[in-house]
């Protein structure tokens, strides 16, 4: 059995959970707070980051969400998430990088720093200017999703792909932290609400981080 070391608001762990669930791969959740730098976890992943995935029986450890997703894409045929022509696959990877890197740097990372890390670990006051800037950037990213969904049914093309999982994972964490204003983003909201009702997404939406509660619309599939 695979053991996924993660915490509920880690967007990279969420992407891996969505992929494992879509592909029908069983796993156990192991709660890991990477900032604690626990010895046992550091031995498993010297980079000290979540997600890390470990299979005791097979003695395999996988780290880094993209490496993990590619591993299962290469080894499990069900629900292909990086498929189509070489150009289609390049487009999927471009968008995965956009959400993993840019969306995280612009939106999810700053929100996690201000609203989770400062509150739970650093005990520092929130910087409201940084929060406003993260929300402004979220708006710009949602504009781009609106544009993509105006032109294609899913973010990277005709079928659901890893690009959709990467985007939905980041957006769900930003939404939990109150960083998303859905008004004026009908296309993005429609695309995201389809995700919210998928069986792979429901367990993520029902989890809560101690102390930090999401806004009321967060788990509402009709919102």
Ligand X SMILES: N[C@@H](CCC(=O)N[C@@H](CS)C(=O)NCC(=O)O)C(=O)O
Residues in contact with ligand X by the rule CB under 6 A: 10-12, 34, 48-51, 64-66, 100
The C-alpha R_g of the chain, in whole angstroms, comes to: 17
| C-beta of 36 vs 143, nearer to ligand X | 36
- What's the closest the beta carbon of residue 13 comes to ligand X, in angstroms? 7
The sheet with strand 60-63 has its strands ordered as: 27-31, 2-6, 52-55, 60-63
CB atoms within 10 A of CB 210: 7
Strand partners, 31: 6
- What's the closest the beta carbon of residue 92 comes to ligand X, in angstroms? 16
| C-beta of 45 vs 200, nearer to ligand X | 45
- What's the closest the beta carbon of residue 177 comes to ligand X, in angstroms? 12
CB atoms within 10 A of CB 110: 22
| C-beta of 12 vs 191, nearer to ligand X | 12
- What's the closest the beta carbon of residue 169 comes to ligand X, in angstroms? 10
| C-beta of 121 vs 147, nearer to ligand X | 121
| C-beta of 34 vs 157, nearer to ligand X | 34
Tallying the residues shown for the chain, one arrives at 223
Sorted by sequence, the CB contacts under 8 Å of residue 123 that are 6+ apart come out as none
Beta strands in the chain (DSSP E): 2-6, 27-31, 52-55, 60-63
- What's the closest the beta carbon of residue 16 comes to ligand X, in angstroms? 8
């Amino acid at each position: 059995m695979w053991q996924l070391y993660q915490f509920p608001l880690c967007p990279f762990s969420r992407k891996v959970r969505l992929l494992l669930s879509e592909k029908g791969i069983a796993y156990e959740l192991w709660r890991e707070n990477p900032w604690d730098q626990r010895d046992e976890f550091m031995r498993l992943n010297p980079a000290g980051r979540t997600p890390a995935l470990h299979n005791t029986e097979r003695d395999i450890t996988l780290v880094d969400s993209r490496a993990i997703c590619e591993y299962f894409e290469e080894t499990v045929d069900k629900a292909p998430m990086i498929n189509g022509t070489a150009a289609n696959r390049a487009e999927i990877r471009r968008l995965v990088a956009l959400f993993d890197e840019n969306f995280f740097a612009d939106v999810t990372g700053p929100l996690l720093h201000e609203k989770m890390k400062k509150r739970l670990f650093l005990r520092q006051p929130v910087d409201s200017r940084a929060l406003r800037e993260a929300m402004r950037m979220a708006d710009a990213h949602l504009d781009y999703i609106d544009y993509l969904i105006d032109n294609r049914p899913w973010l990277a093309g005709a079928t659901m792909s890893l690009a959709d999982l990467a985007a939905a994972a980041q957006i769900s964490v930003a939404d939990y932290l109150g960083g998303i204003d859905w008004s004026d983003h009908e296309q993005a909201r429609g695309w995201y609400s389809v995700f919210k009702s998928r069986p792979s997404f429901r367990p993520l939406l029902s989890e809560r981080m101690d102390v930090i509660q999401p806004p009321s619309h967060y788990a509402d599939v009709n919102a």
